[in-house]
């Protein structure tokens, strides 16, 4: 969208438009969000009493759980965490490929001009938006069928990452822009279906006092692909 705005209005107005959208959303968020339920005008007294009761029960349970919580180092050595980190590395590898090489691929390989490229590159991300919204729903449906929480997460990760990689590979064999964009869009769809699953796994298997550290570790491994991915792909 930014590329199209830059062509239509110039690069300075394009940046100003994006800036204005952010400011508008900040103002909207300021008025609709609150720091706590008791400060939100749309939370009734009955709801507030229920929330406080549940919070007291959770705090009591957390006190007991904290006494037996494993260390962060324990979790970082668990196979499920290491495999999830590797899966997120693969996720980011494909993602950074799209961010760094997909526009250049359309221009150099399929000879699109900048305007055509800007419009064409919107398509995969629109499809990806749908995939991201469906990811948790699909995982929960599989869980309802199998009754096995981690299995439902694993199925989504394995199947969708394989499909995303397959579509990227096939896109390199086509000779026209339409099938290339179609394959890339399908790839982004499957990739984004997995977007929330990594963090769902962390919530499922890690004590909440260690979730931040485990999530940071997975982000660290995933971010490495942002360094090596574009270099390896370009080479």
Q: What's residue 43's pLDDT?
A: 83
The pLDDT profile of the chain, 235 residues, written as one tens digit per residue, is 777 777 788 888 988 999 999 999 999 999 888 888 888 888 888 888 898 888 887 777 666 666 667 888 899 999 999 999 999 999 999 998 888 887 777 877 778 777 777 778 888 989 999 999 999 999 999 999 999 999 999 999 999 999 999 998 898 888 888 898 899 999 999 999 999 999 999 999 998 888 999 999 999 999 999 888 888 876 6
Contact of 148 with 141, CB cutoff 8 Å: no
Query: Can you give the residue ranges of every domain in the chain?
Result: 1-48, 73-235
Q: What's residue 101's pLDDT?
A: 80
How many Å apart are CA 82 and CA 217, to the nearest integer?
Answer: 9
Contact of 56 with 192, CB cutoff 8 Å: no
How many Å apart are CA 202 and CA 207, to the nearest integer?
Answer: 9
**Among candidate residues 130, 127, 219, 203, the one with its CA nearest the CA of residue 167:** 127
Q: What's residue 116's pLDDT?
A: 78
How far CA 61 is from CA of 52, 66, 200, 206, 209, in Å, comes to 14, 9, 21, 16, 13
Q: What's residue 100's pLDDT?
A: 82
Which distant-in-sequence residues (6+ apart) come within 8 Å of 169 by Cβ? none
How many Å apart are CA 83 and CA 59, to the nearest integer?
Answer: 31
Q: What's residue 235's pLDDT?
A: 61
* Other CB atoms within 10 A of residue 128 CB: 21
Alpha helix (H) residue ranges in the chain:
2-9, 11-32, 45-66, 72-76, 79-110, 114-120, 122-146, 149-171, 177-193, 197-205, 211-234
Q: What pTM was computed for the model?
A: 0.80
| CATH homologous superfamily, domain 73-235 | MFS general substrate transporter like domains (1.20.1250.20)
């Amino acid at each position: 969208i930014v590329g199209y705005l830059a062509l239509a209005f110039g690069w300075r107005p394009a940046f100003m438009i994006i800036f204005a959208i952010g400011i508008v959303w900040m103002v909207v968020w300021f008025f609709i969000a609150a720091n706590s339920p008791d400060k939100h005008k749309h939370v009734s007294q009955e709801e507030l009493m229920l929330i406080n009761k549940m919070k007291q029960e959770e705090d009591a349970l957390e006190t007991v759980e904290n006494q037996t919580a494993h260390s962060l180092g324990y979790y970082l050595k668990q196979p499920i965490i290491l495999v999830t980190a590797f899966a997120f590395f693969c996720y980011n590898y494909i993602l950074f490929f799209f961010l760094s090489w997909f526009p250049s691929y359309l221009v150099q390989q399929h000879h699109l001009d900048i305007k055509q490229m800007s419009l064409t590159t919107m398509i995969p991300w629109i499809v990806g938006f749908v995939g991201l919204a469906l990811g948790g729903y699909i995982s929960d449906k599989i869980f309802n069928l199998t009754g096995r929480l981690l299995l439902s997460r694993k199925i989504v990760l394995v199947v969708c990452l394989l499909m995303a990689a397959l579509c990227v590979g096939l896109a390199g064999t086509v000779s026209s822009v339409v099938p290339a964009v179609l394959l890339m869009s399908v790839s982004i769809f499957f990739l984004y279906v997995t977007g929330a699953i990594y963090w769902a796994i962390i919530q499922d298997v890690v004590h909440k006092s260690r979730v931040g550290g485990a999530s940071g570790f997975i982000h660290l491994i995933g971010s490495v692909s942002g360094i090596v991915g574009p270099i390896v792909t370009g080479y």
